[in-house]
Amino acid sequence: MAIRAIHEAGDGQEALELLKCQSVNLVLSDINMPKMDGIQFLAAMKASPQWRNIPVVMVTTEGGEAKVGEAVRLGAAGYVRKPFTADQIKEKLAGILEQVAPL
Amino acid sequence: MNLQNLMVDLIRQSTANVFSTMLGVELASGEALVESGTPETNDGVVSLIGLAGAWAGTGSVSCSPALACRICSLMLMMESTGVDEDVLDAVAELTNMIVGSVKNDLEPHLGPLGLSIPTVVFGRNFRTKSAGTTEWTVVRFPWETEVLVVKICLSPSEKTHTTCHMMGQTCALDV
């Protein structure tokens, strides 16, 4: 898996602003975030014709079915439960990136 | 099972798992105690995260500035020598994972719980207090020459507890 660049945002609102000026192949988002949480951010992405096809992987401590189920229902490509190893996240991202256009 | 014993077990499991997975550190089993009365003064970094639902309270992780830098260095794989924004973020994330995992494992016993965004304080000679709660379940983990302290206080939300007893139900756990 070759990654050209990683762009960071501190919350959902900042991430939406970032998406306006950066072209990305995949988004990795926490659920528990200030200002706009990961579920609201995912909903905003999926409501946008411009961003709805970008795969979003949720990273969360929330093990409950409610939050994870909501993320999947909204169109998350997958989720990784914290804590995770570097290998676990690499494997998850590689699997999802294989299904989308190559970087 | 007594709620305090359950929380001690979950804090030990969760902290060991987070340290092993995220930092590659095998922690020794921590010493458990119950803290009540006036809280001790803190010197260093304290991260606090709120829990809310039928039960409500606070989880906290505290350590020295040196230990906070070590956590950040291991988590972000970069050298940290002073407490800066990255160090505070790393301790906040560690707290989120430890207390979040305890929360997930408490939910089958206590019902759904929400988790707030962590708040991190760095300073000297300060006390933290959770309004309305007097007892903390505390686990002190020795690490290298220092100690990392994980604490949780949790009590039934007033409305839920009253309703539960008015309906003749018993609490799920011996409090």
Q: What is the mean pLDDT of chain B?
A: 88
Give per-residue pLDDT as tens, A38-64.
999 999 999 999 999 999 999 998 766
E strand or H helix at B63, and its extent? strand B55-63
Q: Is the ipTM of this complex over 0.90?
A: no
**In whole angstroms, what is the distance from residue A8 CA to residue B93 CA?**
15
**A85 to B107: CB separation less than 8 angstroms, yes or no:** no
Q: Identify all chain A residues contacting B117, using CB atoms and an 8 Å cutoff.
A: 32-34
Q: Identify all chain A residues contacting B100, using CB atoms and an 8 Å cutoff.
A: 32, 61-62, 82
DSSP state of B150: E
Q: What is the arithmetic mean of pLDDT over A24-46?
A: 94
Q: Find out whether B138 and B132 touch, Cβ atoms under 8 Å.
A: no
E strand or H helix at B94, and its extent? helix B85-110
Residue of B nearest to A11 (CA): B117
Of A51, A21, B101, B11, the closest CA to residue A7 belongs to: A21
**In whole angstroms, what is the distance from residue B62 CA to residue B113 CA?**
22
End-to-end Cα spacing for chain A: 9
Q: How confident is the model at residue B58 (pLDDT cuts 50, 70, 90)?
A: very high
